[in-house]
């Protein structure tokens, strides 16, 4: 099998909007991994690491940063998801436990655990309505999620400043396409 064509090593121009990579440009670890695989196994195409390894690395960096931000507010990702789901539902900021589970893509048992924790903090209340239980976001819960969302959006905007707005939009579109395709294929 012939080694795949690599525009980086053939002096070709990078795609529009992407800066040219020079030998003295800073290199991330991913480029070193790809280059090592090309050297050691020229019969393989390691080009996927350019995307997949970087996505994994970015996910770890973003996750650690968000965890620090949430810790400072007494939140974790599960409670953020619960409060955010209720807040995004719109006024009166109430959903059944079943709706919460479906929108959060977690089991009813996981929602029950989250609700117990949020109730103890005064962020939600549960109200039996017939055979359902409706969860209401309290004013305290709304203040908590509004503060957290504002801090998250401000921080993440700051984390993305290396990319001009147009590049961010392009990246968002490409990532959405990839997510939808992988979900469609059961990935």
**Is the residue at 9 inside a domain?**
no
Which residue reads 């989250």 in tokens?
114
Residue 8, domain member (yes or no): no
Residue 17 maps to a domain: no
Consecutive 10-residue averages of pLDDT for the chain (187 residues): 45 47 75 95 96 96 97 96 98 97 95 97 97 97 98 97 97 97 90
Which residues constitute the domain of residue 122?
48-186
Tell me whether residue 39 is in a domain: no
**In this structure, is residue 136 part of a structural domain?**
yes
31 domain-assigned: no
Q: pTM value? A: 0.79
In a domain, 41, yes or no: no
Q: Which residues pair with 124 in a beta bridge?
A: 137
Contact 116, 97 (CB under 8 A): no
Distance CA 114, CA 97 (A): 11
Q: What is the pLDDT of residue 187?
A: 66
Any domain includes 131 = yes
SS3 140: helix
Q: Would you tell me the crossing angle of helices 97-104 and 108-120 to the nearest 10 degrees?
A: 110
At residue 27, the pLDDT reads 81
Look up the CATH number of the domain holding residue 155.
Answer: 1.10.10.10
Q: Which two tokens stand for residue 65?
A: 């940063």
Number of domains in the chain: 1
């Amino acid at each position: 099998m012939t080694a795949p064509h690599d525009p980086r090593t053939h002096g070709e121009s990078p795609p529009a909007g992407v800066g040219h990579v020079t030998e003295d440009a800073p290199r991330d670890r991913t480029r070193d991994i790809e280059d090592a695989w090309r050297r050691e196994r020229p019969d393989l195409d390691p080009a996927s690491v350019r995307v997949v390894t970087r996505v994994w690395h970015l996910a770890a960096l973003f996750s650690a940063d968000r965890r620090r931000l949430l810790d400072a507010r007494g939140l974790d990702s599960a409670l953020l998801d619960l409060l955010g789901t209720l807040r995004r539902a719109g006024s009166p900021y109430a959903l059944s436990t079943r709706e919460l589970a479906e929108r959060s893509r977690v089991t009813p048992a996981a929602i029950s655990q989250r609700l117990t924790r949020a109730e103890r903090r005064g962020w939600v209340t549960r109200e039996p309505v017939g055979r359902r239980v409706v969860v209401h976001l309290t004013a305290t819960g709304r203040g908590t999620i509004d503060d957290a969302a504002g801090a998250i959006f401000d921080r993440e905007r700051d984390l993305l400043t290396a990319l001009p707005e147009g590049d961010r939009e392009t990246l968002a579109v490409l990532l959405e396409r990839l997510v939808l395709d992988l979900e469609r294929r059961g990935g």
